[in-house]
C-alpha cells in the first residue's frame, strides 16, 4: 500500500498571522501566542485526518520560517535584519558567528503535542543542513562543507 502524506508547513490561519503581528509589537503574551499556535496545529491535524492522509505533519504553526526558527534556538547564530526572499516575503537571515551547538530540544514539545492529537503517525519536521547553510550568512567557517557538516551533526542530535 502506498502511504499518503504532505510536506512541511500549512498556511497560517488569519487569526495566527494577526497574533504574530501583535506579539511582535508586544501586545499579546508569549502564552497567548502559544495557545493560538496550538489551536492552529489542532486544526491542521484534524484537516489531514478528515482528508484521509496516513502520515501527518504538524503544519509548523509555531514557525515564522523554516530557518530562523531553528537558528534562534541554536548557539553560534546571530540574526540579521530583514532580508527579501521569494517576492515580497522577508525573513531575518541568520548569521553564523561561531561553531553551531544545540542547547536543548527545539521541536520536541510541538511534535509531542501534535502526536497527542491523533493515533496516526506525525512526522517530525526539521530543516536540513544544506537549507540552513544556504539561507544563512557564514562569517565563521572557512568552507561551506565545514558549515554543512556542523549543521548535520546538530540535525543528527
Provide, rounded to the nearest whole percent, the portion of the chain with pLDDT above 90. 85
Count how many domains the chain has.
1
- What is the C-alpha separation between 70 and 126, in angstroms, rounded? 8
Please report, for the domain that includes residue 87, its CATH number: 3.20.20.210
In this structure, is residue 111 part of a structural domain? Answer: yes
The set of residues, in sequence order, having a beta carbon less than 8 Å from that of 52 and lying 6+ positions away, is 4
Backbone angles phi, psi at 111, to 5 degrees: -60, -50
Predicted local confidence at residue 90, as pLDDT = 79
Q: What integer best gives the mean pLDDT of the chain?
A: 94
In this structure, is residue 130 part of a structural domain? Answer: yes
In this structure, is residue 36 part of a structural domain? Answer: yes
- What is the C-alpha separation between 76 and 27, in angstroms, rounded? 30
Tens of pLDDT along 24-45? 999 999 999 999 999 999 999 9
pTM for this prediction: 0.88
User: Which residue range forms the structural domain that includes residue 128?
Assistant: 14-156
In this structure, is residue 2 part of a structural domain? Answer: no
Is the model's pLDDT at 87 over the cut of 80?
Answer: no
With cell 502564552, the residue in question is 31
Confidence of residue 104 (pLDDT cuts 50, 70, 90): very high
Amino acid at each position: 500500500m502506498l502511504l499518503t502524506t504532505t510536506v512541511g508547513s500549512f498556511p497560517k490561519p488569519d487569526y495566527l498571522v494577526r497574533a504574530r503581528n501583535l506579539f511582535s509589537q508586544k501586545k499579546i503574551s508569549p502564552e497567548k501566542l502559544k495557545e493560538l499556535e496550538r489551536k492552529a496545529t489542532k486544526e491542521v491535524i484534524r484537516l489531514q485526518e478528515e482528508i484521509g492522509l496516513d502520515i501527518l505533519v504538524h503544519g509548523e504553526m509555531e514557525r515564522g520560517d523554516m530557518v530562523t526558527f531553528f537558528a534562534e534556538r541554536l548557539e553560534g547564530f546571530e540574526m540579521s535584519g530583514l532580508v527579501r526572499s521569494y517576492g515580497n516575503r522577508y525573513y531575518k537571515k541568520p548569521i553564523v558567528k561561531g561553531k553551531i551547538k544545540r542547547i536543548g530540544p527545539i521541536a520536541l514539545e510541538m511534535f509531542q503535542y501534535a502526536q497527542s492529537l491523533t493515533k496516526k503517525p506525525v512526522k517530525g519536521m526539521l530543516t536540513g543542513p544544506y537549507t540552513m547553510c544556504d539561507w544563512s550568512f557564514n562569517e565563521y567557517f572557512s568552507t561551506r562543507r565545514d558549515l554543512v557538516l556542523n549543521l548535520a551533526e546538530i540535525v543528527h542530535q
